[in-house]
Structure formats: C-alpha cells, structure tokens
Amino acid sequence: MRIYALSVYIFLYLPIGIIALFSFSAGRSASQMQGFSTQWYGKALSNPFVIDALKTSATVALVSAILASVFGTMAALALSGMKGRIRVLFDALIYIAVMIPGIVIGIATLIALVTVFDAVNPWLEAATGWRLSMGHGSLIAAHVLFTMSLVIIIVRARIEGMDRALIEASSDLGAGPLATFRQVTLPMLAPAIMAGFLLSFTFSFDDFIIAFFVAGSETTLPIYIFSSIRRGVTPEINAIGTMVMGASLMLLVIAQLTLRRGKAPGH
C-alpha cells in the first residue's frame, strides 16, 4: 500500500514539478532545460496583460470569498437548527453543488444569467439607461454560488463540534441572542469561517471552467493562461503556472492549519 500510495503521489505531482523546473529554463523552450534563469518570472510580472488578468482574478476571488463566507455562515447556522426531511433535502442540494461537474455549473449559470438579463434589461434600461451584462458581476455571482457550498460544509462541521453548554450558559447569564452570537458563537466559528474564506478564495482564483462561460469580455488569469497555451507553451506560462500553484498551495496549507487550530483543545 505504501508503494501504491507513493506511485499515486508521483503520478499527480511529477508533472507539476516538471512545469516548475522548466519555468527556470534560460532558453525559450518549454520542454527542455537550457540553463538556469529567473528571467521568465520577471517577464511574467512585467506583462501588462498578465497583471490585468491577475487583478481581475484577485478582485473577483476576494469579493466572492467574502460574500460566500457571510452567506455560507448564515446558511450553516440556519441549517443547524433544521430537523427531519427538510434538512436532508438541503444537505443533498449542498453536496450536489460540490460534486456536480464545473462545466454543468458553468452552462447552467450562463443560461440563468442570460434569462434574467433578457427579462430585466428592457425595464432597467428604460428606467436608468443601464444594462446588465457579463463581467465582474456575473463572475462574482457564479463563484459565490459555487464556493458558498464549501463554506456551509466547513462551518456546519464546526457547529456540530461546538460545546452547546457555553451557548446555554450565555443565555442563562442574561445575554440575548445577538450578544451570545457575537461573544460566544462567532469566536468559536471564526477558524472555520476563515478556512472557508481561504478555500473559497483559492477555488475562485483558480477557476477556469465556470469563468469561461460567464466572464464576458473580462479575462481572468486562468482564462489568460488557456488562451496563451493555444499558441504554444512557453517558459513564461510555466512561470505563471508555478506562481499560481505556489500561492494556491500556501492558501490551502493556511486553511488546513486554521482548521486544526480551531479543533485544538482550548479553542
């Protein structure tokens, strides 16, 4: 089993390691190591198209993660008080949202947004002169709907492990529901909420499939990478991929450490 597990990890991570290695090539070949250089990282970070795509991805991911954390936490608290078949139904819907292929979510979101825009735009344009269109708003809406399920699952798990005696003690001491939530419930949920925020940011920042359908004229970093590799892979693309991978792994590690800290005794 150890050999099998090692083989699986090699199969998964060796291609990533090769991309990272070739990003330091001094030549222009993306598949041959021709000396060692960090020039492609400098060129990637000085490319205005890369910077614009990076700003779009970071903005969309940040706003999506904030909204997903807020709405996901509210939904998790509401679902924790439900019982019976209605809870089973909502649990199924949440897990389906996580398990369903991204291309299905992308197509469904595109159809839903186009339908809403066609219905609202005539009235909105007549009243204000504005029209709804694909762009930052559609990207944020699609990513919030997708990543909110992750936050709900993480926060729900934390709620199930909370000590209810502390909440009951707060009520017995005269604290109202809002004060109990602010002083007792929220601090205990904070690690899970932060972990959900980091995961939501990572998933939104790295997403290509859903963004491809709803981005409109906007270009996120994954869309830029996909458009670039259609003309051929270069060491600059390897450098961009390596930086994105490193940032994503760092956020995932921080999210995991945050969750472990929240589960540690005394937290």
pLDDT of residue 258: 74
pTM of the model: 0.82
Query: Residue 223 is part of a domain; what is its CATH number?
Result: 1.10.3720.10
* Count of domains for the chain: 1
3 domain-assigned? no
pLDDT category of residue 67 using cuts at 50, 70 and 90: very high
pLDDT over 70 at 261, yes or no: no
112 domain-assigned? yes
pLDDT of residue 57: 92
pLDDT category of residue 185 using cuts at 50, 70 and 90: confident
Q: What is the pLDDT of residues 132-176, one digit of tens each?
A: 888 888 899 889 988 999 899 988 888 887 767 776 677 666 677
pLDDT over 70 at 264, yes or no: no
42 domain-assigned? no
Residue-range definition of the domain harbouring residue 150: 56-263
14 domain-assigned? no
pLDDT category of residue 59 using cuts at 50, 70 and 90: very high
Torsion sign across C-alpha atoms 185, 188, 191, 192: negative
pLDDT over 60 at 266, yes or no: no
Q: What is the pLDDT of residues 188-246, one digit of tens each?
A: 888 888 888 988 998 899 888 999 998 888 889 889 888 888 777 788 888 888 888 88
167 domain-assigned? yes
Q: What is the pLDDT of residues 23-44, one digit of tens each?
A: 888 777 767 777 788 888 888 8
- Express as a percent the part of the chain with pLDDT over 90: 13
pLDDT of residue 172: 65
CA distance 88 to 156: 14
5 domain-assigned? no
pLDDT over 80 at 259, yes or no: no
The 3-state secondary structure of the chain reads: CHHHHHHHHHHHHHHHHHHHHHCCECCCCCCCCCCECCHHHHHHHHCHHHHHHHHHHHHHHHHHHHHHHHHHHHHHHHHHCCCCHHHHHHHHHHHHHHHCCHHHHHHHHHHHHHHHHHHHHHHHHHHHCCCCCCCHHHHHHHHHHHHHHHHHHHHHHHHHCCCHHHHHHHHHCCCCHHHHHHHHHHHHHHHHHHHHHHHHHHHHHHCCHHHHHHCCCCCCHHHHHHHHHCCCCCHHHHHHHHHHHHHHHHHHHHHHHHHHHHHCCCC
46 domain-assigned? no
28 domain-assigned? no
pLDDT of residue 61: 92
pLDDT of residue 68: 94
pLDDT of residue 265: 47
